Structure 1
């Protein structure tokens, strides 16, 4: 039975069905396994907020996980629909942009300098850099898929 995922060219299909869900699940797991507050990632020079302040990032992580599963259901269980696939990719693009907004807001709220700390990348730790750079790759793949650089979306 053909699904919406079958409309994707092979490289985006591998990315959307396997690589991105694995990367998201790994990132969520490693954040919880390290038991380090996300606020600690923002700056090496300042104290992190206490663990109870993690309720918002924890809720965001749960939401991201649910959206990832919902996206896989759309790709794997819906009948082929090119428009639905394109809208799904646009929603994922918005998710990457809100990822940056959340990261930068967290850095700004945790540092006494506010938004200046977002632009002072010399104080960023490796984890903050990873969180900031990861969406560049995913956005590139999503825009390239919509532009047809990997091949045309059939349908």
Structure 2
């Protein structure tokens, strides 16, 4: 369940570990059969194309769930009012201001934070967050979410 947390100790019961592994496999298999939207981009490319300019000089950097793309600048470049933007730039800027970025570079943590903030704001407003998630693997950042209604 979303609301339950299991605190595992270093030498947890073998039965518990087996049940946990089984639950993870079952969840993975069920999720693999569902439809998901995805937007993937190299982390280096994302930084170079969208975050290389000084933050005062660049437009907002957003992931658009409707268009399944990352872009910078005004949202009217997408579908307009139907777009669902996830603002990425503010989190990267916050990480830079907090000194958490190495040499001012983009970090996976900043992207995860942007996703979590999007989810929290949508939940507070009573709107769906489409299970938006992201992960970074092999130098790629991959955003996944449930399909939006037509």
Alignment TM-score, normalising by the size of structure 1: 0.30
